[in-house]
Structure 1
Amino acid sequence: MPRDTMSRTVGAELEVEVTASTTLEFQIALAEHPGAEVTETLRFTHDGTPVEARELIGEHGTRIHKFAAAAGTVTASYEATVSGLAEPPPVRDIDLSTYLRPSRYAEADKFFGFAATEFGDLADSVALPERVSSWVGTRLHYVPGSSDPIDGAADTLLAGAGVCRDYAHLVIALLRAVNVPARLVSVYAPGCSPMDFHAVAEAYVDGHWRLVDATCLAPRQSMVRIATGRDAADTAFLDNHGGAITLQKMAVTAVVDGELPRDSVSDLVTLR
């Protein structure tokens, strides 16, 4: 199937037990996709009763759905079909400043000397994403449960293991350390195994935002944007403010209509 006619169907089902009244924020709906055709359904319930969530539009078309929840069981159900490709993500001057700065989980300032030694000769080259992706991919082991939610890029490098967000944070920190703007994107990723919400890096290379995924768990060409930010602090699928919750169940789906695209780490891919 030609990529410009690709159809992707994605979704998520979550069940959350609220044990102390709180405010919940979900980032599971697709970001705005100008240029593509999107059909979707999004439903929330509290103890079986439908809940109306307030939609907040964040950076880069990210959509946050927020509501207050008393003790009880909250469910979230989302499904969307995306036909065709969205317009390439815009490049704003402010982004080229914001995404050079160290952040909570991508502490680029800790990597300045190291990254310059490893990648400084490629800082202005289109080969940089491939080099960084391959370097991170060969030094880390993908091990579910091997990292803590508070681990940053430096912790990940020392541990030598992590999950997708850890790979992405290390990629982002290394890129920023050689003066290349980079940010984190949460995506639905057809072909990903194990299937889950996926995190990848997006780097400003050759005048465009390019995807970098050192896990190589899914083809980048079929990924679909959910949220974009400095690091995982900006893109979590669920945030809890003021109370206590337990995530009881979660199932994520992402498929393409037809065969998955072929991907190579050397390809320059734009998320659309």
Structure 2
Amino acid sequence: MLRTVTAHLSLDIGGTPDLYLSVAVADGAYDRQEYLTVTHESTALDVVELKGPHGSRVHKVSSPPGRVVVAYRAQVTGGADPAPVEDAALMEYLRPSRYAQSDRLLSFALDQFDGLADVELLDAVVTWVRGHVTYLSGSSSPTDGATDTLLRRRGVCRDFAHLVVALLRARDVPARLVSVYAPGLRPMDFHAVVEAYVAGAWHVVDATGLAPRGSMVRIATGRDATDTAFLSNYHGQVTLRSLTVTATVEGDLVLDDGTALATLR
């Protein structure tokens, strides 16, 4: 399966910040051809690649003040066998985190999903979130977490994902957030989904149901949006002027009703 993905960011920079970009396709799972350029008023800036967990790649750029443009494009094919699962990683994804406050949802999760386990529990959590949270662009802030989404019952993909992650962890299922390129997504953007460790492997779920899982391309994997944000900056100010993301697949999209177990390869 051939997928083509792009990301284009236009930024206004104040001060001299260090920018950390998480837009590149992850290592390990795909054969890829790609380029990444970061320019400051038409002058190319130096880019340093940093390796993260689960194949994540972060690109660090030090920028002077002014307009900065980030352009990324990749063509990816194939997949790979899943990496070995270590107990330390499972433990990490059982713990509460900044945006997935599973410790605050223990009572709710027990009342709502008592007696369920493994795949049955995963299906019940995804079904509940899909049925009780409304997808509404602009309805949440970057600092909202799972508890905010549960109370307000609306959000965007990262809010759906944080709530699924928190409810699963509250029921002792390891769960993590994954940023992806998602062919078929409408509106097109970076997308957030969840991987849960059930039936002896990591399986991907998407409570928004907005894109087929079989065509998704992994970018970054972590505890929550803290680990997967497409842009972070330190020591300066950044204003995002524009963001354009595309993701297409050669041929027809694979149909996905969200009911079968699926892996993100």
TM-score grouping bracket, smaller chain normalisation = over 0.9
**Alignment of structure 1 residues 104-183 onto 2, 5 Å:** 104-123=98-117, 125-183=118-176
Contact 2:45 2:63 in 1 (8 A): no
CA deviation after TM superposition for structure 1 residue 116, in Å: 1.5
Q: CA deviation at 1:88?
A: 2.1
**Does residue 66 of the first structure (1) align with residue 60 of the second (2)?**
yes
Aligned match of 2:9 in 2, 9, 14? 14
CA RMSD of aligned residues (A): 1.0
CA distance in 2, matches of 1:112, 1:186: 26
Aligned: 1:189 with 2:182: yes
CA shift, 1:211, in A, is 0.6
Give the Cα separation in 1 of the matches to 2:116 and 2:107. 14
What letter corresponds to residue 119 of structure 1 in structure 2? Answer: F
Structure 2 counterpart of 1:110, which letter?
Answer: R
The 5-angstrom pairing of residues 27-106 of structure 1 reads 27-34=22-29, 36-106=30-100
- How far is 1:33 from its partner? 2.6
Equivalent of residue 206 in structure 1, options 189, 199, 214: 199
Secondary structure of 2:115 counterpart: helix
Deviations 1:31-54 (A, max 9, x none): 1034x3211111111111011211
Q: Deviations over 1:164-185 (max 9, x none)?
A: 0000000000000000000000
Give the distance between the partners of 1:95 and 1:167, measured in 2 at CA.
Answer: 22
**Cα distance per residue 1:237-268 (max 9 Å; x no partner):** 00011110100111000011000011122110
| Paired letter, 2:65 | A
Q: Which amino acid aligns with 1:251?
A: T
1:3 is matched with none
Please say if 1:221 is aligned against 2:203: no
Structure 1: stretches of 5+ with no match in the other structure: 1-5
The SS at the match of 1:103 is coil
Q: Kindly report structure 1 stretches of 4+ aligned residues shifted beyond 6 Å.
A: none
Q: Tell me the CA shift for residue 89 of structure 1.
A: 4.1
| Equivalent residues of 1:101, 1:108 under 8 A apart | yes
Structure 2 partner of 1:264: 257
- List per-residue Cα deviations over 1:205-242 (Å, max 9, x = no partner): 10110111100000011101000000001100000111
* CA distance in 2: counterparts of 1:132 and 1:151, whole angstroms: 20
Deviation at 1:118, TM superposition (A): 1.5
AA aligned opposite 1:223: M
- Percent identity, aligned pairs only, is 54
Q: What secondary structure does 1:133 align onto?
A: helix
1:103, distance to aligned residue in structure 2 (A): 0.3
Secondary structure of the 1:40 match is strand
What TM-score do the two structures reach when normalised by structure 2?
0.98
Greater shift after overlay, 130-139 or 84-93?
84-93
TM-score, with structure 1 as normaliser: 0.95
Are the counterparts in 2 of residues 89 and 209 from structure 1 also a CA contact under 8 Å? no
- The answer to whether the 8 Å contact 1:181/1:203 transfers is yes
